[in-house]
A and B are shown apart, each in its own frame.
Chain A
Amino acid sequence: MDNFSHKTFPMPGLDPAEPVVDRARLSELGQMATPAESDALLRELLALYRAEAVPHVARLAAAWRAGDAHGARREAHYLAGSSANLGLARLAAGWRELEALAGDGRLPVFTHFAEMLEARLREACAAYEQTVAELSGGR
């Protein structure tokens, strides 16, 4: 049984190659609105993302546990696209890794899988909120 502290496994939150939040992406999204509306838009996008991501993460973990590679790939794919849209770059990279593993039919068993995914999701959302606040302060 592997553990997520294993550094060679590029899971969300463990791969430093990608920033947790892509600030340029958030700026780009924020600029779709007027400066006065920008924060509200960015926060609404996060609320929509979080509401949808939580059940998708649960389904991903369940599919992984059940050995359902097709279901796991589908959920990871959804999460990868949605996270990338929002600028959650490191999380998106992690979901893509899981999608690729599931696509290859490989579902290695990891300890505390669901808890780790949920924790990475919470961290990414917190970092997003922090970045929105910083961008807001800079306007």
Chain B
Amino acid sequence: MKTILIADDDPVMVKLLEFTLQRAGFGVLVCREGLSVIARVRAGRPDLIVLDVMLPGRSGLELLRDFKEDAELAKLPVVVVTSQGKNSTQDELLAAGALNVFTKPFSPTMLIARLRELLHEPAAQG
């Protein structure tokens, strides 16, 4: 089973993602603030991260840059969710290593489809 780390401080978002990802057959880890994300990644070894931009402690953008500078974490796929819709912000996130940027509110179905692609998992039946 592939495992996804949700790094988000919004409990609604966490619940929604947790529910959706578990239903889709993924294991889920959760981190609600930025400073402990890297430790959580090292301990839990997720296959992918769904990362919020405005995390307390350390922002999503800062974390993307941290990952990039760390040989062990540089190749970990990261999808970013944000309520900032500005193209400049999205460009910055993509340049920092995000594979996708989803602007809230996004479709959970589309997110799952993209995560499956990134993790080379077959699409859900039906």
Which residues of A line the B interface, CB within 8 A? 25, 28-29, 32-33, 41, 44-45, 48-49, 51-52, 74, 77-78, 80-82, 84-87
Besides A25-B105, A48-B12, 18 other CB < 8 A contacts? A29-B108, A32-B16, A33-B19, A33-B23, A45-B12, A49-B12, A52-B10, A52-B12, A77-B54, A78-B9, A81-B13, A81-B104, A82-B10, A82-B12, A85-B10, A85-B12, A85-B16, A85-B104
| Known A52-B10, A77-B54, A78-B54; contact A84-B105, beta-carbon cutoff 8 A | yes
Q: Does B83 contact A (CB under 8 A)?
A: yes
Return 16 A-B CB contacts under 8 Å, by A number.
A32-B19, A33-B19, A45-B15, A48-B12, A52-B12, A77-B54, A78-B54, A81-B13, A81-B82, A82-B12, A82-B13, A84-B104, A85-B12, A85-B105, A86-B12, A86-B105
Bound-state CA distance A47–B45 (Å) is: 31
Which residues of B line the A interface, CB within 8 A? 9-13, 15-16, 19-20, 23, 54, 82-84, 104-105, 107-109
Contact, CB under 8 Å: A32 / B108: yes
Bound-state CA distance A52–B11 (Å) is: 8
> How many residue pairs bridge A and B at CB < 8 Å?
57
A8 to chain B, nearest CB (A): 24
Chain A residues with CB below 8 A from B15, complex form:
44-45, 48
Bound-state CA distance A44–B104 (Å) is: 19
Bound-state CA distance A44–B15 (Å) is: 9
Chain B residues with CB below 8 A from A48, complex form:
11-12, 15
